[in-house]
Structure 1
Amino acid sequence: MSAPRPSNLPAPFDRLSADGRTLLALAGVTVAALLLRLYELGGRVFHWDEGRVGYWTLRYAASGQLEYRPIIHGPFLRIVNAGVFEVLPATDATARLVVALVGGLLPLSAWLFREHLDRGELLALGGLLATTPLLVYYSRFMRNDVLVGGFAFVALGFAVRALDTRCVGYLYPASVLLALSLATKANTLLYVLCFLGAGTLVADHRLVRRVRGGEDLSAALRAWGSRGVDELRTAAGDRHPAAFLVGHALGLGLAFLAVTVFFYAPRPDLYQAVGAPGMWGGVLSEATVGSARKLTDLWLSGSMQDNPYLQYVGHEAETLIHTAGVLLALAPVGAAADWYGRGSREGAADAGADAGEGAGGGKIRVPTGRNRALVAFATYWALASFVGYPAATDINAPWSAVHIVLPLSIPAAVGLTYLVREAASAVATADRETAALAVALLLVVGAGLVGPNVTYWNSANPDHTEMVQWAQPHNDARSTIEDVEAVARTHEGGTDVLFVGIELPSREDTFYVDDESAADQGGAPGGWYDRLPLPWYYERAGAEVDSLPPDADYDEALADAPPVVIAHEDDRETVAAHLDGYRATAHELRLWNFEVVFFVEEDALETARERGAGGA
């Protein structure tokens, strides 16, 4: 037996196994990811999409009324954030908190793949999940994409652990996480299709290799089936295999159903059913069949597929190049290294030294071969997502690339580890040319991760559109929005905020809503959407809001105007002529071409400031 290798680690860390040190390092990466997402989380003004979901969350919290509307995705954020707002004040930061936590904890999920990735690759995967600019930006954004993708990614990790350990218990958190993913967005169905497709391809490759090795196809299939039956019997123990299988299938189904019903059941019907068992049939039907019907009706309407596919593909590629270029470059390296390479250097170097080591989380079985199923699976998954998402999405937006970046991170982690080891090997053997090339590539990788994160930090800049979706207001609107909130909190009696409707080529009734209450329950007339994200801010301030139709008589309508009037820039001079004693400030509520003027009464603002009623 060889003597143990000397260690330069401090005594407490030296006593940890290699696996324990890996897990501790992943925990450190996760803490850094959380800090990166939580720091200045409320620094960017709400995006339009954040504004509408935030407004409907506040309305749900106030009214207790909620039902599933597929056009605004799953009810997860509205339900969970309503609970958050019972504990914490409703701010931009607290509204984004749940998404930031899920995105920040994602690097820790790399540990679930420890049977398939070596220690360096696990840390690289955690690091890429922590720092890839697209994931950082949309983990700091109150939208469902990081949630649906993150929950599905971790669900896959638990399913992989179940296969690795032959422990069916891992499938229960996988079932719950998959249900949580579905509660955020119907994209979960695309994840399941990608998983099935990628899994089929990986199984087919293995089968083809066995046949090419001289084994008969039917014999190979029989061998797989026989091994599956033997493993089922071993797992069942004293129970009958059929009873074991059916029992766990029911348990997994019930776990999935319980989460799905909790989120998709209409409110307050769900809570009323607790005291009235006769309501459960209707509640369960509406949460499952009813929700599925609504989603199907939306999908079959044709509006979700009415997009120029090639244009969307090109936009997806551009987004990936600018916001996840490092992963896009490293993933082919990792896939090729795994396919054609000789496996893990760490496996060759450490297999003997690590023999006999154990860790509380389970010993990492360092892969020493090539053509690993996980790497191939993730590569196929990423390719399917790149091809499929431009066809499935109805909005040409950067956030859809999140669903490509997540699977891409696995082969990219393999590629990054390969480059690091090649650089270390070249330095050790004094191969200056190779070492210089590898180090240069690693510096480019570092710049590709740090640069965009710095550029897009709380950005609302029209020059940075690859990451920032066009409906993002400029950050200079923050102070004016806070002034309006302050005035709304202190103004007593009547309308606090009045929107002046206008006819524009994009919408004839911009800003105008005939019935303000029509926007309360997850849907709204067209003109209301042009106000976003302002409804979120004014709802939390308790403002009384009204609007004028585009053909209104301003002499009459503005004769006794409320303390805040909001109009489009094209109406600025006309409206200003009727508002003496008002301060006018213009802001872009999109990245470009949608300038809005805020008229705030000077006396009302002075009163609000004296009372200290600033925005939250």
Structure 2
Amino acid sequence: MKAAVFTTRFRERLSFEGVFLLILLATIALRFLFLDLKLFHHDEAIHAWFSYRLLTEGVYMYDPMYHGPFLYYVTAGFFSLLGDSDIVGRFFPALLGTLLVLLVYPIYKLGYLDKKQTLVAALFLAVSPNMVYFSRFLRNDIFIAFFTMVLLVALLYYFERRQMRYALIAGAAIGFGMSAKENMPIIILIFGVYLLYLIWTRKVQLPTHWIRDLVLGVLVAFGIMVAFYSSFGAHPELALTWWIQAIDHWMAMHQMQRLGGPPYFYILLFVLYEIPILILAVVGILQFIDIRGIIFRWREQRMGRAGTPEIGDGAEDREEVPPTVEPLPVEQRLGFKDHLREILSGTGKIQPVDRQREFARFAIFWMFLSLAAYAYIGEKVPWLILHQLLPMIFVAVYAMTTRKAVIAAVASIFLIGMTLHVAFTPADINEPIVQVQNSEELREVFAKIDAADRVAIATDNYWPLPWYYRGENASKLSYYSQKVSEPTIYSGDFDVVITRDDDTYPALEGYTKEAYRLNYWFSYEENKDRLLEYYFLRNGNVGNRIIEVFTKAPAGTTA
């Protein structure tokens, strides 16, 4: 009796909303705990520095090399409110990474996901190694993932509620996304094509006031883009020309393949970090196309042909079932012009839709086009996996039976373990998710710089030093961008001299020399002959840049 009462109370407390709240709390913990555990990545330091300059000097002008202006204005805003630090720089990405999980709930409320699908999708978003890692990362891609979800939810609610405010929210999501990074048009194109399909097949119907809502949504989007790309009026010439610069730059990067890789580059990352989601997505696709039903019907047909009854064994008594005739599509029955007229006027009958199945169809379409787009794009960098992972999660949760949900929950143990490894290891890690990450060895270099009065940076590989030595601390650093003559060093009376190991001094009189890793990255060439071993042990050699630090010996000592 007591066991039955306990079970009942346990189930009551573990309601759907309760479990969703627990997942959300786990999301918050994984995004916000120890945000400054690791030094800023090379790109993070640059982004933070530009944001700091915007705050302190009012200097900013769009450069496609560093993506859209949204990151810099928002980060500068947080710096002004909370102070400039690594934690504050990563605060907004962590916030959006948390809200991304929360946005699954309104999709459930509209009936496009059931409870099991919602909980598993939220769980995957919460503990996915890539989602966590890049939510703790001052780059634009988590912004795009968030605005993609806002756009999705806004469109679903617009066609459900048919209210202008959702069109305005969709326009704002597009405007902010376009102001964040140049890959937002891929999302808009994918969503737009599928929306046209839904409208043409009468699975959704345009409201009678759709033209007004479209115009207002477009105005909101363009207003946001003009404001950001013109630097709020400081550079009005960029308001209408920024997109030309963006296309020219990224076409050049695509051709150059500065950070190239094979078309299957992201599949390898999925296998390394997200393999439970990848496998369940494959299962979801097979469930969607009903592969078991296809096999069963194929076997039935083969058995039927093999055992076709002859005359006299009862075959003549069987009723012949006429073949099923599919009705003609609406546009063929009405004629193209009449069908188009009904669509644009928002009249006519809507086709009945299984919401969960249609949402799965959309997610599969979204996933495959995203995989194809980023397989084609020449620039292969780990953070672009987010835009392929987001739809894959929704494909993975299709037809979420209890058995499949249990498998997903158990598989999440792998995701959590990998997340703890890549996001919470307080040391350099040999992982492809990391690219040009500043080494933790720099903390020892920082200690030497902190103790010095004058420091010479005699190399062009000096990031993240401008970020970590900004404001009043910047005055102690002299940047030369290359090795200078030894008399220049001695006459400058520098306490610390920093060079790159391939352009350095054999020795400097009166100085001790030590080598440190500046930054590092996963090296495929160093590990290609031991990939299976690497998969399980996660060890091996890394590519890196080495700096040499010359520290002046104290007076009265011999270097």
Q: TM-score, normalised by structure 1?
A: 0.69
Contact 2:260 2:378 in 1 (8 A): no
The residue number in structure 2 matching 1:380 is 365
Query: 1:94: Cα distance to partner?
Result: 1.1
The residue number in structure 2 matching 1:323 is 273
Query: 1:467: Cα distance to partner?
Result: 1.5
What's the secondary structure of 1:590's corresponding residue? strand
What's the secondary structure of 1:305's corresponding residue? helix
Question: Once the two structures are superposed, what CA deviation does each residue of 1:528-554 show, in whole Å capped at 9, x if it has no partner?
Answer: xx2222221122553133334646321
Tell me, yes or no, if structure 1 residue 452 matches structure 2 residue 418. Answer: yes
Pick closer, same or farther for the CA change 1:53–1:183 going to 2, 3 Å. Answer: same
Pick closer, same or farther for the CA change 1:380–1:249 going to 2, 3 Å. Answer: closer
Q: 1:392 aligns with which of 377, 386, 389?
A: 377
The residue number in structure 2 matching 1:250 is 215
Query: 1:25: Cα distance to partner?
Result: 3.9
Question: Once the two structures are superposed, what CA deviation does each residue of 1:212-265 show, in whole Å capped at 9, x if it has no partner?
Answer: xxxxxxxxxxxx49x84xx63xxxxxxxx4xx3443233222322332233222
The residue number in structure 2 matching 1:65 is 59
* % identity of equivalent residues: 24
The residue number in structure 1 matching 2:44 is 50
What's the secondary structure of 2:223's corresponding residue? helix
Contact 2:515 2:546 in 1 (8 A): no
327-336 or 92-101, which deviates more = 327-336
Contact 2:466 2:474 in 1 (8 A): no
For 2:284 and 2:261, how far apart are their aligned partners in 1? 29
Contact 1:323 1:466 in 2 (8 A): no
Question: Once the two structures are superposed, what CA deviation does each residue of 1:270-294 show, in whole Å capped at 9, x if it has no partner?
Answer: 5xxxxxxxxxxx83x632x121222
For 2:273 and 2:54, how far apart are their aligned partners in 1? 35
Counterpart mapping for 1:416-427 below 5 A: 417-418=400-401, 421-422=402-403
Contact 2:367 2:391 in 1 (8 A): yes
Q: 2:456 aligns with which of 498, 503, 524?
A: 498
Pick closer, same or farther for the CA change 1:387–1:87 going to 2, 3 Å. Answer: same
Tell me, yes or no, if structure 1 residue 538 matches structure 2 residue 504. Answer: no
What's the secondary structure of 1:558's corresponding residue? helix
Question: Once the two structures are superposed, what CA deviation does each residue of 1:570-615 show, in whole Å capped at 9, x if it has no partner?
Answer: 45553x42344x67452342243311123345769xxxxxxxxxxx
Pick closer, same or farther for the CA change 1:203–1:170 going to 2, 3 Å. Answer: closer
For 1:603 and 1:256, how far apart are their aligned partners in 2? 61
Pick closer, same or farther for the CA change 1:479–1:91 going to 2, 3 Å. Answer: farther
Across the two proteins, how many residue pairs are aligned to each other?
468
**Which amino acid letter does the alignment assign opposite residue 500 of structure 1?**
A
For 1:423 and 1:371, how far apart are their aligned partners in 2? 16
Query: 1:148: Cα distance to partner?
Result: 0.9
For 1:393 and 1:58, how far apart are their aligned partners in 2? 31
Query: 1:295: Cα distance to partner?
Result: 1.4
For 1:423 and 1:180, how far apart are their aligned partners in 2? 37
For 1:405 and 1:596, how far apart are their aligned partners in 2? 36
For 1:313 and 1:53, how far apart are their aligned partners in 2? 28
The residue number in structure 2 matching 1:478 is 443
Pick closer, same or farther for the CA change 1:203–1:99 going to 2, 3 Å. Answer: same
**Which amino acid letter does the alignment assign opposite residue 564 of structure 1?**
V
The residue number in structure 2 matching 1:587 is 517
Query: 1:499: Cα distance to partner?
Result: 1.4
**Which amino acid letter does the alignment assign opposite residue 550 of structure 2?**
F
137-146 or 535-544, which deviates more = 535-544
- Which 5+ residue runs of structure 1 have no aligned equivalent? 1-5, 208-223, 233-240, 271-281, 344-366, 425-438, 502-510, 512-529, 605-616
Tell me, yes or no, if structure 1 residue 597 matches structure 2 residue 551. Answer: no
What's the secondary structure of 2:457's corresponding residue? strand
Tell me, yes or no, if structure 1 residue 130 matches structure 2 residue 130. Answer: no
For 1:556 and 1:85, how far apart are their aligned partners in 2? 37
Query: 1:108: Cα distance to partner?
Result: 0.8
Pick closer, same or farther for the CA change 1:463–1:37 going to 2, 3 Å. Answer: closer
The residue number in structure 1 matching 2:3 is none
The residue number in structure 2 matching 1:273 is none
What's the secondary structure of 1:594's corresponding residue? strand
Contact 1:31 1:104 in 2 (8 A): no
Tell me, yes or no, if structure 1 residue 85 matches structure 2 residue 79. Answer: yes
Q: 1:555 aligns with which of 487, 490, 499?
A: 487
Counterpart mapping for 1:167-566 below 5 A: 167-199=163-195, 207=201, 224=202, 228=205, 232=207, 241=208, 244-266=209-231, 269-270=233-234, 283=236, 286-287=238-239, 289-300=240-251, 302-307=252-257, 311-340=261-290, 372-394=357-379, 396-414=380-398, 417-418=400-401, 421-422=402-403, 441-442=407-408, 445-459=411-425, 464-469=430-435, 471-484=436-449, 486-487=450-451, 491=453, 496-501=454-459, 511=460, 530-540=461-471, 542-544=473-475, 545-548=477-480, 550=482, 552-566=484-498
The residue number in structure 1 matching 2:499 is 567
Query: 1:75: Cα distance to partner?
Result: 0.9
Contact 1:60 1:78 in 2 (8 A): yes
Counterpart mapping for 1:140-159 below 5 A: 140-159=136-155
Question: Once the two structures are superposed, what CA deviation does each residue of 1:467-497 show, in whole Å capped at 9, x if it has no partner?
Answer: 212x11222322432552x347xx4xxxx43
For 2:60 and 2:413, how far apart are their aligned partners in 1? 45
Query: 1:389: Cα distance to partner?
Result: 1.2
Pick closer, same or farther for the CA change 1:143–1:123 going to 2, 3 Å. Answer: same
Query: 1:299: Cα distance to partner?
Result: 3.8
Q: 2:104 aligns with which of 103, 110, 114?
A: 110
For 1:380 and 1:299, how far apart are their aligned partners in 2? 25
**Which amino acid letter does the alignment assign opposite residue 225 of structure 2?**
T
For 1:259 and 1:23, how far apart are their aligned partners in 2? 35
**Which amino acid letter does the alignment assign opposite residue 162 of structure 2?**
R
**Which amino acid letter does the alignment assign opposite residue 60 of structure 1?**
L
Contact 1:456 1:464 in 2 (8 A): no
Query: 1:9: Cα distance to partner?
Result: 4.7
Pick closer, same or farther for the CA change 1:385–1:328 going to 2, 3 Å. Answer: same
What's the secondary structure of 1:414's corresponding residue? coil
Contact 1:498 1:546 in 2 (8 A): yes
For 1:562 and 1:135, how far apart are their aligned partners in 2? 44
For 1:73 and 1:376, how far apart are their aligned partners in 2? 32
- Which 5+ residue runs of structure 2 have no aligned equivalent? 1-5, 294-351, 522-542
The residue number in structure 2 matching 1:363 is none
Query: 1:160: Cα distance to partner?
Result: 1.1
Query: 1:410: Cα distance to partner?
Result: 0.5
